Chains A and B, each alone.
Chain A
Amino acid sequence: MKSYLPKIISRGHPSTIMSYWAPVIAIFLTLLTGSIIFSFMGFNPLFALHTFFISPISTSYGISELFLKATPLALIGVGLAFCFKNNIYNIGAEGQLTMGAIFGGGIGILFSSLDVNGFWVLPIVILFGAIGGAFWALIPAILKIKFNTNEILTSLMLVYIAALILDYLVVGPWRDPQGYSFPKTRPFNESSRMPLLFEGLRIHFGLILTIISILVSWFIFSKTILGYQLKVSGLSPKASKFAGFSQNSLVVLTFIICGSFAGIAGVGEVTGPIGLIYRDISPNYGFTAIIVAFLGRLHPIGIIFSSLIIALTYLGAEDAQLFMQVPQAVGFVFQGLVLFYLLGADLLINYKITFNKKEIYEF
């Protein structure tokens, strides 16, 4: 009996090389599928891909926009990496971002309306953003360690609660009296806003904060006992207990770190490009950052690259809507495809496919 079917067999060992190749394979397959979808829609796939991935970043303004979008994605993504390494599935970063924007933005509006200015205002605004995000993340953390609830559900539900609180605030108490009843707050004063890095471009100080956070996270992951504890408790809770690491403190700590990163990202959005608080402060950055974190292999440096790639899908979708009259949601299709293929390609880390042509069994 001869078998020509490909066989999936265990490598016996996770392949390090394949764990770097898997994202590349995923991106390649995403582009391939994307061009097939575009040709079914009646577009020249090369033109479509060019519109989607090349033309958005062919100007310096485009590149600045790319970094602007990548800033919150990378910051939240690296925060999520703390949780995911610890096998904590915090998927409520979007809510933590919203809470950060409410806390930090709220302080900013208070200072602005009292007309208080000074170099110290912005650090306080950022700090409050971090506190807001951390506070929101602490809720699922405490529910988990006290009542063993599933953090996936609780953190997700809190996203919608945060969004409703934001809605209430911008429609009600925080609405701009001079805003013609639009659901938005008054704009921030200059001293509450993230300083711009270049004249005429929208990238702001948040980018610097993100880069610092990424470097610090890289140091924590690779050089410290805390990073080691995250690794161990993610791989084997039993071994982590044997080592004497406190599982509960790790849960709380990773939620706080992730929440404060998401909170800072939220402050960055409202005090950066937007300049005030209104309903739609984030195009799902908190959810998309989950893809960023996994595409970047939960590694800070990898997350830099993946955040840029995912940011490009946002820009590409905008351009596609303008020049090809396709809905902006195409961007989400690409994000979904990347995640789908990545999870598929991850199979190759532990398994390999062989085309076994020799006789395997004879009788």
Chain B
Amino acid sequence: MSVTAIHDDHHDHGPTKGFMRWVTTTNHKDIGTLYLVFSLAMFMVGGAMALVIRAELFEPGMQFVDPLFFNSMTTLHALIMVFGAVMPAFAGLANWMIPMMIGSPDMALPRLNNWSFWLLPFAAVMLVSTLFMDGGAAAAGWTLYPPLSLQAGASFPFTIFTIHILGISSIMAAINIIVTILNMRAPGMTLMKMPLFVWTWLITAFLLIAIMPVFAGAVTMLLTDKFFGTSFFNAAGGGDPVLYQHLFWFFGHPEVYVLILPSFGIVSQIIPTFARKPLFGYSSMVYATASIGFLSFVVWAHHQYTVGMPVEGELYFTYATMLIAVPTGVKVFNWMSTMWQGAMTFEAPMLWAIAFVVLFTMGGFTGLMMAISPADLQYHDTYFIVAHFHYVLVSGAVFAIIAAVYYWLPKWTGVMYDERLANLHFWLTTISVNVCFFPQHFLGLAGMPRRIPDYALQFAEFNAWSSVGAFVFGFSQLILCYIVVKSMRGEGEKATDEVWEGASEHGLEWQLPSPAPYHTWEHSPHIH
């Protein structure tokens, strides 16, 4: 379908001035920027909470915080990183890149787009404000399992409603992305020509539409159990607390794929550009993404192996979970084959993408270990789990987001970042992330439980290592902030339109000027 865009004010083709520009904007690039800046801010807030956790765990004994506050830190760190940092970062990238990549003038539903973003700061205020309430912030873990989560103080309803607002925001964003991809593509941009980032976001958006309402329903039941006398999770009334776990993980497992599928897309954009080859096995990448999306819905109870399920259930969820390794393996081999005999260069985005492939795969392997239910009885709720999901979420999702920022920052701002600083950032981060999380595998296998502010003496050394790694990791991210702020101020060498050598063969966004003008593709390009 051919597209020409009209704007309701023909004389005003640039942004309006001042703060209200950002509040009332319907421009996909503005909204993308808002999402990304919000995400970076939340990354710092959630990161500060992680450093509180690691400071307390630096040595055995109670040093800095009381146990309740420690539990609030683990809970809020997770909620903020998942819903405040990673998901908004992907939404920001989707906003910026999807219309430019498919040759559309904007997102399909621009007003809704504005609302999707502007719900987030309100949700963040609501969640963080619970720190100052009677009884402290939510402290039962991000999974909010009853009956523990029901024992929270004044923070309880605020936590629940934060999730409702986040859910509304995510669902609206997902609807917008699906509609944009299905309805706004330039002529000739068939589905099987779409960049992988667009494909992975399409499937992610389907997942979001299916899971966020279930999460909203589950926490609504928590709310009514606490305040309106229902018995959903109360065995005395015929309910079952395990029901919550099923509902939560029906959301939670696809949710972790929401956090990783767009990363797959990003890496699939970057590796071909710097290997100077087309992506190996494009269509198998698409099918693998779709398979992972489907499988994500039928494996949830592998998070609950120790809760007391019938053995048939344990068997089924073990086998179904291991099946996911197949499409994921397809992806990893495709990335390696893309690099094979490529004319590779190692600018910052490529470094992060390669680190993603290596470290994410490690996280994937530990995931495979935990998929086996009899073995998981040993790993469950230990630091092994913490190590696993930080490998896939930090050196996975976060690395991919940082890769994306370096990759597209010159297109957004029109200036190149400082490659030397970016290299420093990369090596500091990559080394420290491993110093931080690798010892946690050993801690977990030796039996150190997660979500605990104190521990037995034999765990001291690895914990000290881990804390040192965490602090180096945390402060290294200030380099990222510096680089981003510098580019946003337009300081640096002017970027070419293509930015990366030969990139214009790898996507429509590289055919636009750098920085990308306020309105792009008002007349849709023709794709051959």
- A and B interact physically: no
Residues on B lying within 8 angstroms of A by beta carbon are: none
Residues on A lying within 8 angstroms of B by beta carbon are: none
